[in-house]
Amino acid sequence: MAYDAMTLADVVMERAEILGAISEEPQLLVRRFATPTLRQAMDTVAGWMSDAGMNVRRDNIGNLIGRYEGVLGATKTLLLGSHLDTVRDAGKYDGPLGVLVAVACVERLQQAGRRLPYAIEVAAFADEEGLRYHTAYLGSNVVAGRFDPAYLTLVDDDGITLIEALRSYGGDPSALAADARDSADLLGYCEVHIEQGPVLEALDLPVGIVSGIAGQSRFTVTWRGMAGHAGTVPMRLRRDALCAAAEFITLVEQVAREHAGLVATVGQIAVQPGASNVIPGQVTLSLDVRHLDDGLREQTIGQLHAQALSIGERRQIDVTWGVVQEHGSLLCARELVALLGRAVQAQGYPIHELPSGAGHDAVVMAELGPVAMLFVRCKDGVSHHPAESVAVADVAVAIDVLQEFLELLGRADGR
């Protein structure tokens, strides 16, 4: 039979390769929000969605949404999907896998000439990683009606504002609010994603069910000291912004290590003026803090903020603490988790629930209704790295599990 899960999984893997070659840079994979490269990836997926019998549309932030109608008279809709933007030097599966597995399931329904008691929409979100504007979930925020118009003034590293980027991508910034999805007909949102960690591999399980998603805060911390001549200013008279920032970065690591499950990362740093013979006058760094317990995350942030100010005071460095984005932790909807559990068992595998330390569009989609996620084992737990890898057999299991979930949902709910 042409549309068994293994054949579909082969197609998913081929398509992941095709998308993996659509990059802004030839030597590494990077697809930023609102770029011609992202458009190319979206157009490619739009073709696959159409082939699977879906009506395809694009909204004004650049999300692609394919719709496969349910039986005549069906009034409800289930949303599936993930994102097509990437980090820099990304792997091929973080995001695309969830879109491709969802399209594969619709393709199988279409081939069987089947309609479910509800419609399926597959969303390919335009920005989950936040690489270009440092703020995650731009795509799903629009769908959830949570897009903050203040984002339009954000500026990327090339000085292009978000509003300019949107216009040149073909979106109408004034229509973003109107792109919010009505939640009245929604049964929920289900996202398939690679695990991005080593747990499933250690347990020898192809898939796992996400119990919840860690809360996440992102900040920009700016350190302003005094630039000067590297040869003439004595050490005791310096106000070196980079030395202050370095002290803080080490502290971030130390504090995060004190609490189980707490992770804190400084992933970006810009030094000005940035010359080997000039004392650094200004440093801007990113800070990302995550934990499943919102209270502990907030307490840690308070502690880090206070310590940044105290480092600055001692070193005569002016510190500015800017909030980029904050999201509380999320518990997945138990009714959908239970259906996913039955779907996993129906494929002969035990249920394993695990939390997600990574952020996902599901966090934002929870504003609209119940959400659930299925994780697929990845090799060595590696992600946000070109070595990211999944096994085709595990993708086949994910397709079968999602298909079974769709059937169970059809029986449990529907019109």
Q: Work out whether 197 is an interface residue with ligand GLV (CB under 6 A).
A: no
**Window 48-107: residues binding ligand GLV (CB under 6 A):** none
Binding flag, residue 359, ligand GLV (CB under 6 A):
yes
Taking the complex as a whole, how short is the minimal distance between the CB of residue 358 and ligand GLV, in angstroms? 4
Query: Number of residues in contact with Mn ion, rule: CB under 5 A?
Result: 2
* Minimum distance, C-beta of residue 144 to Mn ion, in the bound complex (Å): 17
What are the strands, taking DSSP E only, across 117-247? 119-125, 186-194, 207-213, 215-224, 228-229
Classified as helix, coil or strand, 70 is coil
- Residue from the set 94, 107, 195, 394 that interacts with Mn ion by CB under 5 A: 94
CA angle 158, 162, 164 (to 5 degrees): 80
At 66, list the tokens.
């394919």
State the nearest-atom distance from the C-beta of 384 to ligand GLV, in Å.
7
Among 20, 70, 91, 95, binds Mn ion (CB under 5 A): 95
What is the CB-side half-sphere exposure of residue 11 using CA atoms within 13 A?
21
CA distances (Å), origin 404, targets 26, 332, 367: 39, 19, 25
Q: Which of ligand GLV, Mn ion, none binds 240 (CB below 5-8 Å, type-dependent)?
A: none
What does the block give as tokens for 32?
A: 């930023």
Asked if 117 interacts with Mn ion (CB under 5 A), we say no
Q: Which does 95 bind (CB under 5 to 8 A by kind): Mn ion, ligand GLV, none?
A: Mn ion
Kindly state whether residue 210 participates in binding ligand GLV, applying the rule CB under 6 A.
no
Determine the Cα–Cα distance for residues 212 and 165; give it in Å rounded to an integer: 33
Does 129 bind ligand GLV (CB under 6 A)? Our answer is: yes
What is the amino acid identity at position 195?
Answer: E
Displacement of CA 356 from its chain's centroid (Å) = 11
3-state secondary structure of 382: coil
By a kind-dependent CB cut-off of 5 to 8 A, residue 191 interacts, out of ligand GLV, Mn ion, none, with none
Work out the burial of residue 236: count CB atoms within 10 Å of its CB; fewer than 13 is exposed, 13-18 middle, 19 or more buried: exposed
Q: How far is the CB of 324 from ligand GLV (least distance, A)?
A: 12
The residue (of 233 and 263) whose beta carbon lies closer to ligand GLV is 263
| Residue 358 contacts ligand GLV per CB under 6 A | yes
> Measured from the CB atom, is 342 or 384 closer to ligand GLV?
384
The C-alpha atoms of residue 180 and residue 161 are separated, in whole angstroms, by: 22
Q: CB of 142: closest distance to Mn ion in angstroms?
A: 17
Q: Can you give the length of the chain in residues? A: 415
Nearer to ligand GLV, 93 or 169 (CB): 93
**Binds 369: which of ligand GLV, Mn ion, none (CB < 5-8 Å by kind):** none
For residue 359, the partner it binds in ligand GLV, Mn ion, none, with Cβ less than 5 to 8 A by kind, is: ligand GLV
Give the SS3 label for residue 90.
Answer: coil
Query: Which residues contact Mn ion (rule: CB under 5 A)?
Result: 94-95
